[in-house]
Amino acid sequence: MMQLGLVEVKRVSGRNDYQHECGWELNVYHENSECFAIEINLEVFLETDSLDIVAYHNKRDEFYHKFMYYTKELESVIGKPAFSDGAAARGFPHDQEAAWLSLWKVQNARLMIQQKHEDRELPFRVVLVIAP
Amino acid sequence: MYTGIGLPTEGWDAPVANESPHIVISPTTVIAQPSSEIYQAAPVVGFVSAPSLMQNSSFIVRNSGSALRSAPRVLGSQLLNALALPFLLLYPTPMGGGDVPMRPLPLERRRNFTIRNDSDRAAWNRYLGTFGSSPRLAEQELNDYLENSGATYAGSRNLPDLENPWVRYQRFITGKGYEEIWRLNGRMMGVDGTSGGYYLEAKWTGTDATWGSSPYNPQHAFYSEQNLLDQAGKYLLLNQETGGKGVMYILSSEKGREHFEKLLRQHFPEEMENGTLRVWYTPGNGM
């Protein structure tokens, strides 16, 4: 982690947080000493519960466009994703939780852009996820 | 503890000393006791000093629209006539001061008002503190507070047009494509649904396979225990205000249920024990 410019800033049960020298944060989730996900939040909107219905739908659209933007950015670097669709689509990874997800298979891991919003009172997020 | 019309029986902290001589107003009688100093300009709820009664020729019974003339016996009969009032708010006025126009509160709200929590108490103390300098402003503020306190149904809002699991799960649990909006102590609150007199809160916590990455898992970076407890507290208050049977949390994973059971039992032990607050696991299979 040090070689990547990451410094551990917080450690709680099941999660270690690191901060990069540029300021962004990385969360490492683990269970029984095995890492099952690394997350970097690319975009976050916290105040979801305060939105009226119009603002809420606008925020949903805004985060969908952000999801598409980051998908295209990554696509331009590592190629077309193996999967890119919504949570109800066939082929959506059963161990992942997201509204929209683009997935690239790399050597020993899956690289994903996920648009998350797990409940009305929880944030809208676009997240870069690395998982086994 | 004093008793009387609409008097709070708990947490009473108005500036009336227990040992002070006073007149106690009860639904059936007014008892004068010889006495001393309390209240010159401050409002009185259910209590007024005997000397004040004798020295000031007129009193206003709040919202009765009439000025009451001196003697305790007369005051008592007037009070008995006015017992439809929720609580009697008496305060001395200058000689011949007459009535003071006030905006009446909705009767039900006044009748049911008691000091039950910190915000009620704060509003009441603000009222007492402001009254001497600006009675009308104090009245207005208390009225506004009372009008905004308690729970009223404010309508419904459709679930978002999303295929997110939480939307599908909520629809699956409540059977409805909308949720209820309540106004609770002046603030809006969303309620996922109701069933058989219980309020329902559907929580999509993923499956046991994805529980690790759920923000309802305490290890998650976006987990907020305070938000969860605030929400549970609001549900319980809403349940109490509306005379509901209880609040049911329904979770999509067994691991999520275990966590909520533990958390809520730790912070709301009585409600969990007596069944006012319940936690269930219902998987979202087929949602």
pLDDT tens series, chain B, 287 aa = 222 333 333 322 233 333 222 333 322 222 222 222 222 222 233 333 333 333 332 333 332 333 333 333 334 334 433 333 333 333 333 222 333 222 333 334 444 445 566 777 677 667 666 655 665 676 677 777 767 777 888 888 888 888 888 999 999 999 999 999 888 877 888 999 999 899 999 999 999 888 988 999 999 999 999 999 999 999 999 998 888 999 999 999 999 999 999 999 999 999 999 999 999 999 998 88
Name the stretches of chain A with pLDDT < 70. Answer: none
Q: Does A97 contact B212 at a Cβ distance shorter than 8 Å?
A: no
The backbone torsions φ and ψ at residue B77, rounded to the nearest 5 degrees and listed phi first, read -65, -35
Query: The pTM is what?
Result: 0.67
**Would residue B211 count as lying in a domain?**
yes
Q: Does A53 contact B157 at a Cβ distance shorter than 8 Å?
A: yes
B177 touches chain A (CB under 8 A): no
Instruction: Kindly compute the dihedral angle of the four CA atoms of residues B136, B140, B146, B149, in this order, to the nearest 10 degrees.
Output: -150
Contact B194, B153 (CB under 8 A): no
Instruction: Kindly compute the dihedral angle of the four CA atoms of residues B80, B85, B89, B91, in this order, to the nearest 10 degrees.
Output: -50
Q: Give the range of the structural domain holding residue B237, as residue numbers without chain letter.
A: 151-281
A117 touches chain B (CB under 8 A): yes
**Same domain, residue pair B257 and B171:** yes
**Would residue B5 count as lying in a domain?**
no
Contacts of B163 in chain A (CB under 8 A): 86-88, 99
From B111, B133, B148, give the residue that closes a domain.
Answer: B148
**Would residue B169 count as lying in a domain?**
yes
**Would residue B287 count as lying in a domain?**
no
Domain total for chain B? 2
- Least CB-CB distance to B204: which of A27, A41, A119? A119
CA distances from B180 to B130, B153, B156, B203, B243 (A): 37, 8, 4, 16, 16
**Same domain, residue pair B134 and B179:** no
A5 touches chain B (CB under 8 A): no
Q: What is the pLDDT of residue B139?
A: 64
**Would residue B139 count as lying in a domain?**
yes
From B148, B165, B189, give the residue that closes a domain.
Answer: B148
From B105, B133, B148, give the residue that closes a domain.
Answer: B148
**Would residue B15 count as lying in a domain?**
no
Q: What is the pLDDT of residue B124?
A: 66
**Same domain, residue pair B157 and B275:** yes
**Same domain, residue pair B161 and B257:** yes
